[in-house]
Structure 1
Amino acid sequence: MGDKLLFENISKIYGEGDNMVTALDDISLAVRAGEFVAIAGPSGSGKSTFLSIAGALLSPSKGRILLDEKDITSLPSKELTRVRLEKIGFIFQAANLVPYLTVREQLLLLSELTGKRDKKAVIKADDLLSHLGLEHRADHLPEALSGGERQRVAIGRSLMNDPEIILADEPTASLDSKRGRDVVEMLVHEVKARNKAAIMVTHDERMLDLCDRVIHIIDGKIFTNGDTEKRANLQ
């Protein structure tokens, strides 16, 4: 299994001179196919910047980023948009569903954006909804769904383009403990079954046991479980 995402000495610096802030400081990290990685850390530690760079939403100041073994560091904007549509699945904190689209239409939206909405796309959407236990909700609007159901729709939407990597930003933040765990367990299952890579940014330590690896970001630097320096910083 190869690396689906590779950070090579990535730094992100905002501002200049006395106003300069280093959000990420020389980070190197590889995430492989079938691997579910958690990114944890306090507010302001660099987690959001990390996820934005991983999702091709933000360019690094230094270093190189490879997605599915392709260097995307300096791609023009139009090509980066294509990478996001075709290679990356996003799951957001509050599901971010379009309020006036039905559950089935939420999944088909990506096919619309890539110009690939056809009978196959509809079949795929319905298969995903059935697999996620949402077939009876296919024609409902988001307002009729529970928080857990909305996040399951978001998981289905993230899988519609058969992405190489799934990026989840605090996917349990709006859910109680049981529903949050159900959502993460379902996401882990999909990642393993489809041999995808996934990164989940989370504050919820109750979900960390479901992950293959936990990476802590502290002041723009990364530490893995067991690092003595990480422990010292967390105290």
Structure 2
Amino acid sequence: MGAKLILDHVNKSFGDTNTLNDISFEVKAGEFVAVVGPSGSGKSTFLSIAGALLTPSSGRVLVGGEDLSYLSEKERHRIRLEKIGFIFQTSNLIPYLTVRDQLLLIAELSGEQTAGEKKADELLEQLGLSHRTGHYPEKLSGGERQRVAIARAWMNDPDILLADEPTASLDLKRGRDVVEMIADGVKRRNKAAIMVTHDERMLDVCDRIVRIEDGKIR
């Protein structure tokens, strides 16, 4: 299994503050990695750099074998659309789109609208949402909204999936359901995934746990 995500001696500074210090890290296909650490330790910056939302001050980032170091913002946008799936702390669903249309928007942005309809229906069925396809986010439970977010993240068949505190607004059972669905998708699709979390009750679902403190991997 080749590495889907590589951070190679990555540093990130904001002014005089060093947020990440010499981070070297990789995630292989089929691997689900939890990233933990105290607030302010650099976890969010780490995830933003892995997701091509921020550029490192130095070092290299490779996603699906493509080096992001010298890409323009337009090219980085393409990488985010084609190779990265995101799941956020809150589901970030668009309030005026139905469940199915949340997924079809990704297909449209990717230029694969025709094939996207079948894929959307398959994903919603896999995640137990077939009976909710015409509902709007306000009619869904918190767990259902996060499941829609998972389905949306898989729509572009990304090389890597990045989840930022995906269980933060959920109770234990619904949170665990969400994390197990992510893990299942990672294995079934042979993708790489990182989950930043404070919820240590979910760590046994992951293949590996990485701790960040003071901008360094411990």
Q: For residue 26 of structure 2, what is the aligned residue in structure 1?
A: 30
Amino acid at match of 1:14: F
- SS of 1:64's partner is strand
Q: Give per-residue Cα distances to partners, 1:202-232, cap 9 Å, x unaligned.
A: 0000001111110011000002xxxxxxxxx
Runs of 4 or more off by more than 6 Å in structure 1?
Answer: none
Identity across aligned pairs (percent)? 67
Instruction: Give the counterpart of 2:185 among 190, 195, 199.
Output: 190
Gaps of 5+ in 1: 224-235
Instruction: Give the counterpart of 1:126 among 121, 129, 134.
Output: 121
- SS of 1:161's partner is coil
Instruction: Give the counterpart of 1:103 among 96, 99, 103.
Output: 99
Residues 110 and 156, structure 2, Cα contact 8 Å, conserved in 1: no
Instruction: Give the counterpart of 2:134 among 134, 139, 148.
Output: 139
C-alpha distance in 2, partners of 1:61/1:122? 40
- SS of 2:33's partner is strand
Deviation at 1:73, TM superposition (A): 1.5
Q: Which of structures 1 and 2 has the larger relative contact order (alpha carbons within 8 angstroms, sep 6+)? A: 2
Written as runs of structure 1 = structure 2, the 5 A alignment for 1:203-214 is: 203-214=198-209
C-alpha distance in 1, partners of 2:166/2:41? 18
Instruction: Give the counterpart of 2:113 among 71, 93, 117.
Output: 117
C-alpha distance in 2, partners of 1:57/1:202? 19
Q: Give per-residue Cα distances to partners, 1:119-172, cap 9 Å, x unaligned.
A: x21011001001110000000000000011000000000000000000000000
Amino acid at match of 1:5: L
C-alpha distance in 1, partners of 2:154/2:110? 14
Deviation at 1:115, TM superposition (A): 2.4
2:2 equivalent to 1:2: yes
2:64 equivalent to 1:68: yes
C-alpha distance in 2, partners of 1:127/1:152? 13
- SS of 2:56's partner is coil
Written as runs of structure 1 = structure 2, the 5 A alignment for 1:57-96 is: 57-96=53-92
Instruction: Give the counterpart of 2:146 among 141, 146, 151.
Output: 151
C-alpha distance in 2, partners of 1:85/1:136? 28
Deviation at 1:74, TM superposition (A): 1.6
Instruction: Please give the root-mean-square deviation of Cα atoms over the aligned residues, in Å.
Output: 0.6
- SS of 1:48's partner is helix
Q: For residue 230 of structure 1, what is the aligned residue in structure 2?
A: none
- SS of 2:113's partner is coil
Q: For residue 233 of structure 1, what is the aligned residue in structure 2?
A: none
Amino acid at match of 1:86: E
TM-score w.r.t. the length of structure 2 is: 0.99
Asked which structure has the greater CA Rg, the reply is 1
C-alpha distance in 2, partners of 1:170/1:86? 22
Gaps of 5+ in 2: none
Amino acid at match of 2:193: A
Name the count of aligned residue pairs. 218
